[in-house]
Amino acid sequence: MARLALVPSPFTGAAAWARVAERLPDAIAVDYGGVSGPDWYDGAARRIAAAAGQGPWIAVLHSGAGGFAPALAEAGAAGLIFVDAVRPHPGRSLREVEPRFVDYLAGRAVDACLPAWNRWFDEDPLPRLVPDAALREAIIADLPRTPLAFLDAVPPATDAWESLPAAYLQLSRRYAVQADWAEARGWPVRRLDQHHLAMATHPADVAAALQALVS
């Protein structure tokens, strides 16, 4: 069976995947060190591939990590599972894909870095999403300060990811459109009525859904 490389968003950290990794044989919550220039997407993909190790591996991409799919296809991924994730946008920066949202984030940047993910909002969503204080603090401690320049970085302009086996796991209602898109492509789709960080708070449910998609 292929190893599952559980890849966090460039705006969160591997701590959110840790409890799922504990429940799946041959899975790893990948800490790829965040994104950094000048090879933003390619560099992250190389580090993710190195963490996945030898043998076939499937990239399990949460949230903004969906944008890594083109680079990961070129880095050797054997398959892709998108988890409440954005669609790949090969050859297009986040600013081109979501200009209004990027402008909003850029307006909150300090010292050329974005604030930690839970500080993007007028009210911190983590107390609501992750009631357990110890787990919440672990997730907060792992949140990166993503460089503002990443919003203008361009992933590889390749369609190699489209030839890989792929699936989609929807965790929250906000990603229903992306799950519908995956379903229209003929991918296996699972839908959980949870929230965006359900892999941290409901690891057994998420692990079971991933196993079902892999099989």
Per-residue pLDDT at 176 exceeds 80: yes
pTM over 0.95: yes
Q: Does 102 map to a domain?
A: no
Q: Does 126 map to a domain?
A: no
- 3 beta partners: 57
| Tally of domains within the chain | 1
Residue 121 pLDDT: 93
Mean predicted lDDT score pLDDT of the chain: 97
In the chain, % of residues over pLDDT 70: 100
Residue 1 pLDDT: 75
Residue 102 pLDDT: 95
pLDDT confidence tier of residue 180, bands split at 50, 70 and 90: very high
51: left (phi over 0), alpha (psi -120 to 50) or beta: alpha
In the chain, % of residues over pLDDT 90: 99
Q: Write the pLDDT tens digit of every residue in 5-49.
A: 999 999 999 999 999 999 999 999 999 999 999 999 999 999 999
Three-class DSSP category at 96:
helix
Residue 126 pLDDT: 97
Q: Write the pLDDT tens digit of every residue in 128-168.
A: 999 999 999 999 999 999 999 999 999 999 999 999 999 99
| Alpha helices (H) in the chain, listed in sequence order | 18-21, 40-52, 69-75, 94-97, 99-106, 126-129, 133-141, 176-184, 198-201, 203-214
Mean pLDDT of all residues in 58-70: 98
Mean pLDDT of all residues in 64-88: 98
Q: Does 122 map to a domain?
A: no
Q: Does 139 map to a domain?
A: no
Tokens 């591997």 -> residue: 14
Q: Does 197 map to a domain?
A: yes
Q: Does 65 map to a domain?
A: yes
The C-alpha atoms of residue 23 and residue 19 are separated, in whole angstroms, by 7
Q: Does 138 map to a domain?
A: no
- For residue 175, the domain's CATH number is 3.40.50.1820
Mean pLDDT of all residues in 178-205: 98
pLDDT confidence tier of residue 113, bands split at 50, 70 and 90: very high
Cis peptide leading into residue 127 (ω within 30°): no
Q: Which domain holds residue 47?
A: 3-90+154-214
Q: Does 98 map to a domain?
A: no
Residue 146 pLDDT: 97
